[in-house]
Amino acid sequence: MPWTLVFEQLLNGVQLGVTLFLMAAGLTLVLGIMNLVNLAHGSLYMVGAYLTLAAAQWTGSYAAGVVLGLAGTLLVGMLVEVVTLRALYDRDHLDQVLATFGLILFFNELVSMLWGRASLYAQLPPSLRGHVELFAGSSYPMYRLAVIFVGLFIAILLWYVVTRTRLGMLIRAGASNRTMVAALGVNIRLLYTVVFGFGAVLAGLAGLMAGPIYSVQPGMGELILIQVFVVIVIGGIGSVRGALVGALIVGIVDTLGRAFLKPMLGSMISPTAAEAAGPALASMLIYLLMAIVLALRPAGLFPARG
C-alpha cells in the first residue's frame, strides 16, 4: 500500500470532514438551541455556491465573489427565517421537516430556473491553483489544503466563541436548557436570529468552498445534508465539539472507504465480486458506523444535554 496515497486520501478525508463540520456546526446549534429541524440548511449550502459563482463571474474577482456570496447567503437565510421558520418554532418536528422539505423543492427549482439544471464549473481562485509538495514524491492540490486550513480556523474560532465569550455561554446554556435561558430574561428572539445567521454563513462558506471540488448543481445540498445528519447523530445534538469530532470521523471513514475498500476486498475475494461489492459497501460504511455508535451511545458521543 503506497503510503503517499494513503496520506493523500487521509487529507481528502480531513477536507471532507471540515466541509461537513461547517454544515454540522450550524445545524446542530439550531437543532439544540431552537429545537428546529431545518432540512433547508442544504439549500443555503447550494445558494452559497451559486451566488459566489455568479458574483465572481460578474465582478471578475474571486474575492469579491466570496464576499458577495456570503452576504447574499446571509440575506437569503434571514429571509427564510423571518418568512417561514418563525412560524415553525412552536410546531413539532414533523411539521418542521415537512415545511422545510417544501423549501428544498422551492430552492432547487428556483436555482434550476436561474442557472439551468446542468452542473456548473466553479473556477479555482488563481492564487490557489497549484500543487504543494508535502514530502518527497507527494503533491497535493493547494486549494484543498486551503479548505482544510479555513475549516480548522473556523473550528478554532468557534471554539473560542463558544467557550470564552458571553455569547458562547448563552449558546451552550441554550443548547442544554432552552426554557431556562428564556426564563433568565435573555432576548431569545435575538439569540435565535444570531445563531441562525451564523449557521447560514457557515453553510454558505461550506458551499462556496465545495464548488470547485464537487459540482455545483441543483440538489447538491441534499447530497451532503444526509451525511451531515449522520455527523450530528454521531456527535450528539447541540454540541459543536461533537460536530467536529463526528465530521472528521465521517469524512475520513467515508473517503478512505471509497478509496481502499474495493482493492482491499479484491485481495480477499475475487476481483469481480469486489468490483460490485466494493463501492456498495463503501457507500454504506458511514451508515453502519452510525448504527454502531447509536447502539453504544444512543445520545451521540458528546450530547449537549446531560
Partner 1 sequence: MKTRLVLWAIAVLALVALPPVMTAIGQTFYIDLVRRIMILAIAAVSLNLILGYGGMVSFGHAAYLGIGAYAVGILGFYGVTSGWLQWATAIGASALVALAIGAVSIRTSGIYFIMITLAFTQMLYYLGISLEVFGGDDGMRLKSRSQFAGLVDLGDPIAFYYVALALMLLAVFFVYRLVNSRFGMVLRAAKSNEARARAIGFSPYPYRLAAFVIAGAMCGLAGALYANHTSYIVPGLMSWQQSGDIMFMVILGGMASTAGPVLGTFALLIVEELLKGWTEHWQVILGPLLVLSVIFFRRGLAGMFYKPDA
Exactly one of 59, 79, 82, 95 binds partner 1 (CB under 8 A); which one? 95
CA 250 to chain centre: 11
If binding is defined by CB under 8 A, does position 301 make contact with partner 1?
A: no
If binding is defined by CB under 8 A, does position 230 make contact with partner 1?
A: yes
CB of 134 to partner 1, least distance (A): 31
If binding is defined by CB under 8 A, does position 123 make contact with partner 1?
A: no
Task: Evaluate whether 205 touches 70 at the Cβ level (below 8 Å).
Answer: yes
- Report residue 66 as a C-alpha cell: 466570496
The Cα–Cα gap between 234 and 257 comes to 18
Task: Evaluate whether 55 touches 65 at the Cβ level (below 8 Å).
Answer: yes
If binding is defined by CB under 8 A, does position 283 make contact with partner 1?
A: yes
If binding is defined by CB under 8 A, does position 291 make contact with partner 1?
A: yes
The Cα–Cα gap between 304 and 302 comes to 6
Nearer to partner 1, 7 or 106 (CB): 106
If binding is defined by CB under 8 A, does position 76 make contact with partner 1?
A: no
Mark residues 164-203: x for contact with partner 1 by CB under 8 A, - for none: ----------------------------------------
The Cα–Cα gap between 133 and 157 comes to 28
Nearer to partner 1, 4 or 84 (CB): 84
Residues 16-55 that bind partner 1 (CB under 8 A): 31, 37
Distances 131 to 3, 42, 128, 252 between C-alpha atoms, Å = 18, 30, 8, 21
Task: Evaluate whether 134 touches 140 at the Cβ level (below 8 Å).
Answer: yes
If binding is defined by CB under 8 A, does position 264 make contact with partner 1?
A: no
Exactly one of 21, 45, 50, 107 binds partner 1 (CB under 8 A); which one? 107
Which residues have CB under 8 Å from 273's CB, separation 6+? 265
CB of 276 to partner 1, least distance (A): 7
If binding is defined by CB under 8 A, does position 215 make contact with partner 1?
A: no
If binding is defined by CB under 8 A, does position 297 make contact with partner 1?
A: no
If binding is defined by CB under 8 A, does position 270 make contact with partner 1?
A: no
**What are the two backbone dihedrals, phi and then psi, of residue 185, each rounded to the nearest 5 degrees?**
90, 5
The alpha-helical segments, DSSP class H, found in 184-270 are 188-210, 220-235, 240-268
- Report residue 220 as a C-alpha cell: 447538491
Residue that has been written with the C-alpha cell 413539532 in this structure: 92
Exactly one of 113, 118, 157, 269 binds partner 1 (CB under 8 A); which one? 113
Residues near partner 1 (CB under 8 A) = 31, 37, 84, 87-88, 91, 93-95, 97-99, 101-110, 112-113, 222, 226, 229-230, 232-233, 237, 276, 279-280, 283-284, 287, 290-291, 294-295, 298
